[in-house]
Structure 1
């Protein structure tokens, strides 16, 4: 059983502990005064309407002070001017109402109101009266203080408290500029010439409240605004409603209905206290911020904050974001932290804030995460086979933010290439350009090289040649191997062998073997290499047994002999020209007279005699074009004879003296005079 004091009606009521909200509104106990039979005393009984369990002990109060512990009933003199009250031990703060032994004139304090609820910032008056005796001193105090202290001397009330009233009262306590901390129980005490009124009895409970608008959903697209207080305001006030600062309704009801879509600003006030209005309620006004501000670099810590000015406070925050152009996704909370932000976190972000008055969306911000180059690679165009002589382009690609501003090209196992552009061009690619290439991409945040890509240039065979093994003198009957070598891409896949410019029937491999070399195998050998793109013949290689002259050697010897003969012929010609020039006049004179005592000189030129004058002219005009095939000198014995232009050499005759004959062949140009 729990006894609960209801100070509003000055009664006790009963309730079961733990179910205080279900107590019955009946008087639980009170003091009853009855005369004793055959006695001058009166009996005070602490009466209850329900039976208290546990055989409780009662406490009696006289003029507000404990007089004794005793069980009920309690005896007093009938002419006592004191007031009495009772309580149960252990629940001393629950007093019965004070009663006078005789009539209503006795020593007691009567409060005008036992409970007062007023607005924060307003002024309140609390009052009481005293009983029979005149007072000599009075003051008000707060019951929650350990020692009763006159409020007019309390620093927390300086300038805000005023105490009025003399003699029997009424005694009034006025507190202005009320704050919520002023909420407390206030009691009054006094002194007379005969006694001091005690401090135990309840006084007036003051509750200070502010106005608050509460929003609750209602049916059919409506919501209800309630001008709420923490206690029920005294004196049944009239409520005033404001929309966006304009008065829209005066009503004794603290409630006001609006549309569920209405997110305007509303507040309420109490008539007569218009300046003490509630805070306005309104839908969220949402913004978003990024910390730190400025460039966002991959790997750094970044915080997104969703802020909203709203009343009531925002109930929920929802983040909406769109990564790299994808669909919007969501996450919750007023803050979102990227401990190590990645490039994949780039995108558009905004947040949504919601309270009872509505929903609001922030502006969209673009999270642009900066990072150094990554995924650097090289591509080749055209992508198929690369043929020597074609145009080829290498392209360096890299994911970077900001974009790559410098490219560097490298050939593997070689120096860097000239050029800093995204592409590297081979206008006419050659076999020397084969190799592995890679690039470097750089922006303000870093540098990254790509992996290498192979550029395989295809071309037909070149530098085709034949080698022989063994490389020294060939021994008749030994094994001889010929090897055909050629630079080609793709590699040579077909070889053809030739002997004396004729194809071998079975000579189609890179090597050709002659198991027993004989003299019949002497001759020229060459090969042809083919790779599908083209072919190339090697130069002929002469292979012969030692001591066997070959046509190549004969040709070489012949060339050397011809050169030597030509040198001798030129020397002889120069000598003849000089001789002919010196004796021209004598020769002509001798011819005219038909005389000649000198031995004639005959020139055999292609089987015909040559006129010396014509020969001289031709030699003078075209001496550089004269070629001598062979020169032979023989002796003849003649007298000195003049030189003739056309000489047909006769058959040699025996003379007394030997003659010298020369067989000379002149290759004259066709334009030479005849």
Structure 2
């Protein structure tokens, strides 16, 4: 633990338990250290094994409010170029191991060595303990394709500061400015900010794709300072599962199967591997390796965290296999959906007993064509002898289920436990976002799942198409009447959402208030003009000639004052009441 002490206007860094004047404290993570002559102490990970000791000395000029930062290594570096970061922004200068800076409460610094930017020191405050800082729990994370992963992150700022803006960015090339994730449509609906405006900045990814592999950074602003994005973030690597086959020896006719990934999974605790043989789940083994006998008809696949690998043949390339075009499909209620797969078997054998099903019990399956719930709504068709497509028409929400294909070849049947295609049936809904102060309203055409096919949206206003809008979001300006809106999808124009009426009074509640206020203002002016003319016509005097008297009445502790002019106008107004 690092603490601070001050003596004779000179402040020294020291480690609790040591009082010999030498800097023996490092945060036990390696060999590069950021130290200061007066205030700062930190360290960074490195491959060096020996630690250095640093003698701390105060500044010579006690009137100048600056400190000297030193980036130290536990090993000797030849012609090293140092990199300095201030509040997350890389500084062009200096490139030496020492850097003098002005003391400022919001300033934080870190250092690294050129070509080893990922091995940077922890961020340290020049003054105090609540300067700007972002800390990532992992420099790198490896996760499975299709899975969900969190990028843990913590940040800090001055206690009284208010965070005005915070966003996650994806880093392209190192010299390029990163891109805000919220501006990229490919991340829509798949990323969620789990943090807050205090200290947590964790980001969650769902349905990971291999294209998500990149470096991600967090950036935030307060009313006084800003954390920038050139500071290293978290590198995410997305990998799929693969079964690697290792041949046995000449005398040992077995092969070793390994369920592998391209990187070591970050969350690798209590991993349970599942193996499939010809589409049928095996009770054993549960480890990542499995030894099998050599058979030409046999195929294997593995899964982990409900994510599966591709099927591989133990021998040759013609073993049994079923491969689905989509693991999941989202389709509109009332529409038609196609669920397809390809399959293979030994070249000299034919496929028989081809069946699609979504219900099975103890190995007994039910052909969809024979299921009364699907009577007249399902059909099987093929384009080659190695593919099959299931077509379901007039989709219902009860059709949401997992669909599988099964076939038999050479008296060997593809198993029923191998994962198939999961269908989700959704309807269209129009959601209304309340009006802003400017009077703008936002309508969103939403579904319970992302539609599988490329989607072009169609909006209807009072039953008529809105030709210039094809996104799922519709922005409305100020209107003076109630309007009904509904949405549909191109290619399924007959399937519309329920009509939502955007009510003028409900959306723009301030309009009646403004109208009433304007009417009252005009009425008061007219009454004032009338009373003034009436006084003049009756020989009374006006405000220019009639001196006004201020009458003050004190009640309790409050004094009320009113002029005689006001009283005369009030009398005039009241005298008008019988005639109104």
TM-score between the two structures when normalised by the length of structure 1? 0.38
Q: Which structure would you say has the larger RCO, counting Cα contacts within 8 Å and 6 or more residues apart?
A: 2
Max radius of gyration: which structure?
1
